[in-house]
Structure 1
Amino acid sequence: MTDPEGSAEAGHRSWLGLPAALALIGVVLLVDVAAAAHAVLIGFLGLAPLLAAAVDTPRRTAVASAAATVAAVLAGLPSQTLGSLDHVLRVAVVIAVSIAALYVSRARTVREERIRRMSEIVRVTQKAILREIPPTIGSVALGARYVSAQRGAGVGGDLYEVVPGPDRLRVIIGDVCGKGLPAVQLASAVIGAFRQSAIVRDRLEQVATDLDALVAREPRPTYGVTFVTAVLLEVRGPDLWVTSCGHPMPLRHRPGRSPVPLGETEPGRPLGLGGRRDPPTRHPWSIGDRLLLYTDGLIEARDDGGRFLPLRLLDRPLSAPSLPRALDAIWRVVRAHVDGEPRDDLALLLIERLPDAVTDAARGGR
């Protein structure tokens, strides 16, 4: 997904760096001459390299520093204070500040480069853990989005995966209890186990039992119990089979209708807490029906008044002409509701039943 704030930040940098520093130098000189301040405003020229250092490269900061130093020297001409002790001291202050600005700019750019490299590593890690979902599998169209609450992290404790079979499609979406690297590691382990179990197990509750055993074997963190909430879904032609392990049920959206939870089944125990796994519940779905699987970053998104996101706001986004547009619209609704960035990770997986006779060319056009 695009980052509008990142684009805005880049736009700000285009004029906040060297151009703004040079403009500030000009303003200081004009005010000094117009007010006949006798070069007492020379010290303010040191703000120019500091301004450049905050957002610009070391080379452009050096240009701003040189311009500020030259301007400080020349400022003594109109007032005929050039070479006086007071003038020399003020120029020395500008030079000292300029040197400090060069150091700040260099340190900032080194830190940003380190962050950029780490972000690239995280991006590769995300692609390894959360593989790209194909746009269609059989007669099912699919789309996915993941947004981390920690800006720039790119990946967290939310997870999803899709595993096709000869006559079925199995899907999982879940949320690890916890944050940071341990949550990422557990999410990766759950996804790996699901990829294997979804192929070899005949029944969906057996897959849930396998995942439950895996999470239970994970080392317990210092902050308490480890568990994972998840929804497991199986698509077999016109039928959906779903089991919830402590996770919100998917939302079903039918053309011309508001989205509603898929059934009223009470969620089972989260993965990792043991207990018997009930058989999945069966639900029919028609051509054109869409099913939104999500993590709690969606329904727990709150506005400034503490109100949760109303599901009715998802009606228009889910009616978008394509799944990618629908997911983008949902993300915009969430950001508008919280008036900024969500405080929790958010994973979305949207599927739609297509006509069985859809051609490969038609699928590609979606």
Structure 2
Amino acid sequence: MFCTKCGAQNADGAKFCTTCGAPLGNSETAATPQPSTEASQPPIEGDKTSVQTISYDVSSPSNAAASSSQTSGSQEPPQSWTDKGDSHQNSNGKKSKKTAIIVAIVIVVLVLIATVVGLTMAGIISFGDNTTEEAAVEESATSDDASEKSKDEEKESSKKRSSSDSYLEADFYDCDPEELQSSFEDLGFELSDVSAVGPSDGSNDNPGTLFATFTGEASEDLPGLKGDEIEITVGINLTDDEQFSYDSYGLADNPVDSLDELSDKCTVSNVVFAYESDVSKDEFVSIMSDIIDTCSFDKPSYASASDDELLDEAVDEFKLSSENAHIESSYVGDVLYLSGSDWSISIMGGDELGGTFVDFDLYM
């Protein structure tokens, strides 16, 4: 038997619903349950002055009928069970409609918010004068000219250029090989010779060193220079990208025609400045002092010479200790050599050499 109010199933013959306490009718009526969402007030029986109160323990539905008792009072009876049920159902209907409306409104609002956010991120709409990083990204993304560069432009912008106009300064060589050649050509020099030194066994364990010689008129005031021509040889550390064929002596003659064939990762190791001079032996020390001043070299720390006369004069001029000054018997002609922390100078002359020659090295 089913309760007509809450729809709960009860034992056949039960007078009251064990779930909500409602009176149970005949089996035909009880067979069609009427759902109810909450327990209602107990039913009214008898006259208006007699109210039946049903008390039950929801944890023990089977004891609900047995615990009923009769009470009497003079208070006005509550509305009928049927009226309250109808009111409850109407209330639930209204609540359901309100709930559906609220849910629909929330969904619409969420859709609108998602649409606005999506359009804003896509750059289709914006709010106010946006000068933040997002605006910059938007402008870059929508500009075809800014987002598309040719490979030539990218290569040009990535070149490492010299930061000095003087080839006597180390900063002049702080650039890639292609830009270095361009800088020399701007000064009127030309690439006159290229050679490389590497492993003679063909192992290529050591990529080797390339020597590029530039020849031209000296644009700097070089002490002791005879005429105006100077040779500047640049040593360049090669990378694994350069695979040259070396002979049994570890030499490769003219491995490239231009320095733009080298990797832009190649770096300069040293620079040698060489020129002919017309100074005499007794001017060797003074010419070296002038070169040190012109190139802003630090104080020399070592000296060697072909004879005592040149060595003693150098020790006195540059205040060298005897431990760092030596006679070198293997020198041919008149030779004086000085070196500092990152440089060296040598002057060689005499009849054996057919003239006097100056060269000084700058080490990177």
TM-score bracket relative to the smaller structure: under 0.3
More helix by proportion, 1 or 2?
1
Normalising by structure 1, report the TM-score: 0.20
Normalising by structure 2, report the TM-score: 0.20
Specify which structure has the bigger relative contact order, considering alpha-carbon pairs within 8 angstroms and separated by 6 or more residues.
1
